[in-house]
Amino acid sequence: MLTDGAGAMPEAGFAPGAGVRPAATEPVPVTLGDAFGWYSPGPRRRGVLLCGTFGFEQWCAYRSWRELAGTIAAEGCPTLRFDYPGQGDSRDPAGPEIPAALAAIRAGIAFLREEAGAEEIVVVGLRLGATLAALAGADIDRLVLLAPFPTGKAYRREMAMQSRLIDVMPDRSPMPQEPDSLMVGSFLLGPQTLADLARLDLPAAERAPAPRILLLGPKVDALAGRYRALGSEVEAGPFPDLTQLVSDPLFSRTPDQTFALVRDFAVAGAPEPAASRPLADAIRHGNGREGENSQGAGWQGEGWREEVSRFGPGLVGILCRPCGAWSGDTVLVVNSGRNPRAGHGRQTTRLARRLAGAGIASFRFDLRGIGDSVPRPDGSLPLYAADSVADVTAAVDHLVALGHPPGVVLGNCSGAYQAFQALGRDARLRAAVLVNLYCFDLKPGTDVETMVRDTFRHSQGYMARARQGRFWRRILTGDLSLSKVARALLRDGAARLDRWTARMPWRTLSRTGVAGRVAALRRRGARICLVYSADDLGIPAVQAHFGTSAAGIARRLGYPVTILDGSDHNLSRPADQDRVFAILVRVVREARTADRPNAVPEPAAPHPVRTPGGPSLLLSRSG
C-alpha cells in the first residue's frame, strides 16, 4: 500500500503526490476481476450495487449514474458501481461479453457481502443493465429495474434504430456496418455479443429475481404482472425523464425525481449501522484474472498497468504506463465534449493501452463537470470554457510531480480546443495533436450550448440546408422557428467575416491573434499536428488563419494537415483510429528527438499528397 510520505496511509488506490485527498464519503477505485469500479463504504448493513447500461447509453448517463450512487451512499449504505468488462476503464474480458457482464454483477454482489459486510443486497439496473441484473441468478433482497429491455432482441432492435441516427458519415449517410455486428455511438456489438443478446428473455423466467422489485419505465405492466405471478412484491410506474438521461451525451440531464424514488426504495428500512472495519482492512489486494476483488495502487493487463489519481481542483485521472521499458514519453489526453476519460466509444482507454505497448505512457482525465471529477462551480458545461484550460494545466503539474512530464497533448474537437490553449500557455508541452479542431479561439460571451446544438448536430450550414425541401417544411409546420434560423445565419455570417479578416495584416501581426500565438510557440520549438476527417467543419478555420498554401501551413504549424478520407467526425472505425495512433506515435518520437538532440531521428515522413477535389491543404496520408 502506498503512503503519503509522512507514515500515514492515504486513501487506497490513489497515486502519491495527488495534492487532494478524498473525503471519507468519496468513492475509492476497486477491481472485480476484469471490471473496474468505484466503491463508497458505509456503516449500514445493506449494500447497493449499481449496474449501468451498455455503450452509448451508459456514456450518456455516466455523470448522472455517478450522482445516483452518491445520493445512495450519503444515506450510509455501502455502494458500488462499475464498468462492465470491455467498457470504460475495465479490462477486456477473457471470454464473451455478456457472460462476463453477468459474472461482474455476481462479483459485485459478493464484494458487498464479503468486503462491505452487507447483510442485505439491493441491485439497481439501468436499461440493458437492468435486464442483466434480473438474469444474474444471484440471491438479492431488492431489485430496481429502470426501463429494462424485456428481451435481448428488443435491445438489438432499438440500438439498430439509434445507430442509423447516431453513426453517420459527413454527408449524413449511415455509417457502413461490419458484417454480423452493430455499431452504436462508436460502441461495437460483435457477432458473439449479438448472439448472446438474442437469448436474453425476462418474461421466460421461472423464478422471481428478488422478493421486492421497483419497476419503472414504458410498457412495464406485462413484466410487472409476470413477476407478481412468480411471487414478487412489485411497485411499477413510469420513467418520464428516460430520454433526457440516455439519448444525448452532450446535454444529458439527471432525472432527479426518478432517482429520488430509486434512492428511497434502495435505502428504506436498511438495517442500522454496525461497527465498521477500516477501509484498508476491508479490501483485498490483487490484479489477476481469477475473479478476486481488489483495490490498491493500480491494476494491469497485457503490456500495461494503470493507477487512479485525484489531483488539482477535485479532478480524477488515470495514468497508464508500460509494463516493460518506458521510453520516457507521456501523452496527455483531453477528451471531447462531456465524454468521461474512457473517450468516445472507449477510444481513449484503448489508445492508452496501445501506447503502453509501444513504450509510451499516457494520462487520461476528467475535466471538472465530467466523469468522476467535481462539478464546475457554476454548473455550466466545460465545453470551450476558458477556465477549463486550468484543469489541463493541473494535469501537467500532476504528471510532473509523478515523474511523467507530458511532452505531447492530444485532443479531439472541444478537447483539441483546450489542448491548443494549453500548448500556447505551457512551455512544458512540446507538441499537440489536434483532431477535428473546430476553432482556435472563441469570442468571450459566446453561447456555447447554442453553438454546439446548431453547429455540431448538423454537418451542413443553414444556407446549404435552405436548398432542401424538408428544411422549408419544418419551418411551415412550426418545427423550426424563423427566429432560430435568423440567429444561426447571423452567427454563421459573423464567423465567416471573422475568418475572412483573420488574414488581414493587423490580425496576423498581432501577438494576441492566432497566427501570432502560433508563431510564438513555434519559436520556442513547439509544433502542431492537425488531423481532420474529410469535410469537417473546422477545416475553414485553418485556411482562415494560415492561408491555403500547403507548404505555408506546414511551415507555420510544424506539420502538414492530415485529412482522413472516409472517416466520420468521431473516428468511429478502427481503421481511422489506427491512422491517428500512427500519427500520434510519430509526433511523440519526433518531439522526443527535438527535446534530446543526441537521440536517433526517425525516418523521414512520406511526401504528402493531394486529394483531387479536396480542400487546398497539404494532405498527409497516415496509412
Strand stretches in 227-274, DSSP E = 233-237
Indicate if the pLDDT at residue 460 is higher than 50: no
Q: Give SS3 for 211.
A: coil
109 is written with which cell numbers? 454482489
Contacts 24+ apart (CB under 8 A), 206-211: 206/230, 208/232, 209/133, 209/134, 209/135, 209/136, 209/140, 209/143, 210/123, 210/140, 210/141, 210/142, 210/143, 211/141, 211/142
pLDDT tens readout for residues 361-372? 999 999 999 999
Which of 144, 377, 374 has the alpha carbon at shortest distance from 259? 144
Q: Are 469 and 566 in contact (CB under 8 A)?
A: no
Residues in the chain: 623
Domain architecture of the chain: domains with CATH: 29-151+208-269 (3.40.50.1820), 300-441+513-595 (3.40.50.1820), 445-503 (no CATH)
Assess whether pLDDT exceeds 50 at residue 417: yes
Q: What is the pLDDT of residues 151-206, one digit of tens each?
A: 999 999 999 999 988 888 877 788 888 889 999 989 999 999 999 999 999 999 99
Integer-rounded Cα radius of gyration of the chain = 25
Residue 270: Cβ-neighbour burial (10 angstroms; 0-12, 13-18, 19+): buried
CA–CA separation, 507 and 509 (whole Å) = 5
pLDDT at 308 over 90: yes
What is the CB neighbour count within 10 angstroms for residue 511?
9
pLDDT at 235: 98
Instruction: Say what the pTM is.
Output: 0.84
| Grid cell digits, residue 591 | 518531439
Distance between alpha carbon 598 and the CA centroid of its chain, in Å? 38
**Per-residue pLDDT tens for 470-499?**
545 555 666 556 666 566 556 555 555 555
3-state secondary structure of 509: coil
How many Å from the N-terminal Cα to the C-terminal Cα in the chain? Answer: 44
Banded model confidence at residue 218, pLDDT cuts 50, 70, 90: very high
Three-state secondary structure string covering 80-130: EEEECCCCCCCCCCCCCHHHHHHHHHHHHHHHHHHCCCCCEEEEEEECHHH
Nine cell digits for residue 330: 507521456
Q: Is 595 exposed, middle or buried (0-12, 13-18, 19+ CB in 10 A)?
A: middle
pLDDT at 436 over 60: yes
Q: What count of other Cβ atoms lies within 10 Å of the Cβ of residue 312?
A: 24
The average pLDDT across 515-543 equals 94
Mean pLDDT of 44-60: 96
Give the three-state DSSP class for 415: helix
Question: Can you read off the three cell numbers belonging to residue 358?
Answer: 509501444
Confidence class for position 96, pLDDT limits 50, 70, 90: very high
Instruction: Work out the pLDDT band at 504, boundaries 50, 70, 90.
Output: low
Residue 82 pLDDT > 60, yes or no? yes
Query: Alpha-carbon distance 199 to 192, whole Å?
Result: 11
> Which range, of 125-139, 273-287, 580-594, averages the lowest pLDDT?
273-287
What is the structure's pLDDT at 170? 74
pLDDT higher than 50, residue 207:
yes
Picking from 269, 145, 156, 268, the residue whose alpha carbon sits closest to that of residue 208 is 145
- Dihedrals φ, ψ of 305, to 5°? -140, 145
Identify the residue whose cell numbers are 428544411. 471
What are the strands of the beta sheet with 431-435, ordered from one edge? 299-301, 304-311, 315-322, 361-366, 330-334, 408-412, 431-435, 527-533, 562-564
- How much is the pLDDT for 446? 80
Encode pLDDT of 36-48 as tens digits.
999 999 999 999 9
> How much is the average pLDDT of 417-444?
95
